[in-house]
Amino acid sequence: MKKDLYRIIDANLNRSREGLRVCEEIVRFALSSPALTKELKSVRHEVSLIAKTHYKKTGALSCARDSSSDVGRVSRKPSEMRRSSFCDIFTANAQRAKESLRVLEEFYKLTDKKISMRFSHLRFRVYEIERKASGRIEALRNN
């Protein structure tokens, strides 16, 4: 069970940071928003800090990684290839980050309830950042 748990945590730490980084690039370069960039970067760095602490503590996350035989590796939905605007990309990646943070929140309940609560807090921060960005991001739909 521990290896499976670590695989889930590892995949979702990576997924959440990837999604946050894509959103960060859009608010940085397309919106030129220092405030939103700073907020997203802060959330991403906090996830990275938790990951770094976990890796140091257990060393087990990257050892549990088995991406070459991951059954979800090649399951791509056609909708993933149909992004037509920065807005679509931002929305998809914000959703990806929130979902991953929720997964981390749930699975850390098995190992560290304090970290689970940190992921809950981060998820709600992303909801708030998304709300703040929504009008400006929607305006990019035609770009």
Q: How far apart are CA 35 and CA 67, in angstroms?
A: 35
Distances (CA, A) of 65 to 3, 42, 68, 70, 117: 9, 26, 9, 9, 24
Distances (CA, A) of 86 to 15, 68, 93, 120, 141: 19, 30, 10, 27, 6
Token digits of residue 17: 């940071």
For the domain spanning 2-62+81-142, the CATH number is 1.20.1260
Which segments within 26-82 are labelled E, that is strand?
none
Show pLDDT as tens, one digit a residue, over the chain (143 residues).
Answer: 688 998 999 999 999 999 999 999 999 999 999 999 999 999 999 999 999 887 776 666 665 556 556 656 565 565 555 768 999 999 999 999 999 999 999 999 999 999 999 999 999 999 999 999 999 998 877 65
pLDDT at 75: 58
Q: How far apart are CA 40 and CA 1, in angstroms?
A: 33
Extents of the domains making up the chain = 2-62+81-142
pTM of the model: 0.87
